[in-house]
Amino acid sequence: MRGEHTEQSEMFSYITLERRISEKHPLRKIRELVDEVLEGMNQRFDKIYSHTGRPSIPPERLLKALLLQVLHGIRSERLLLEQIDYNLLYRWFLGMSPDDRVWEETVFSKNRERLLDGEIAELFFKKVLKLAQEKGLLSKEHFTVDGTLVESWASLKSVERRDGEDRNDDDGDSGNPSVNFRGEKRTNETHVSKTDPEAKIYTKSKGVAAKLHYMGHVLMENRNGLAVGAEFSEAGYFAEPDAALAMAKDLRGEFRKTLGADKHYDQEYFCEALRDKMITPHVAQNIHSRKHHSAIDERTTRHAGYEVSQRKRKRVEEIFGWLKQWGILRRPHFRGMKRLGFLFKFAVGVYNLLRISNLTLQTA
pLDDT, one tens digit for every residue, the chain (364 residues): 676 777 777 767 788 889 999 999 999 999 999 999 999 999 999 888 878 777 788 899 999 999 999 999 998 999 999 999 999 999 999 999 988 999 998 888 888 888 888 789 999 999 999 999 999 999 889 999 999 999 999 988 888 888 877 665 556 677 677 777 777 788 899 899 999 999 999 998 888 889 999 999 999 999 999 999 999 999 999 999 999 999 999 887 778 899 999 999 999 999 999 999 999 999 999 876 666 788 898 888 999 999 999 999 999 999 999 999 988 999 999 999 999 999 999 999 999 999 999 999 866 5
For residue 201, what are the β-bridge partners? 212
- pTM equals 0.91
Cβ atoms 294, 286 nearer than 8 A: yes
CA 130/CA 138 separation, integer angstroms: 10
Residue ranges and CATH numbers for the domains of the chain are: 17-118 (no CATH), 122-152+213-363 (3.30.420.10)
Q: How many residues does the chain have?
A: 364
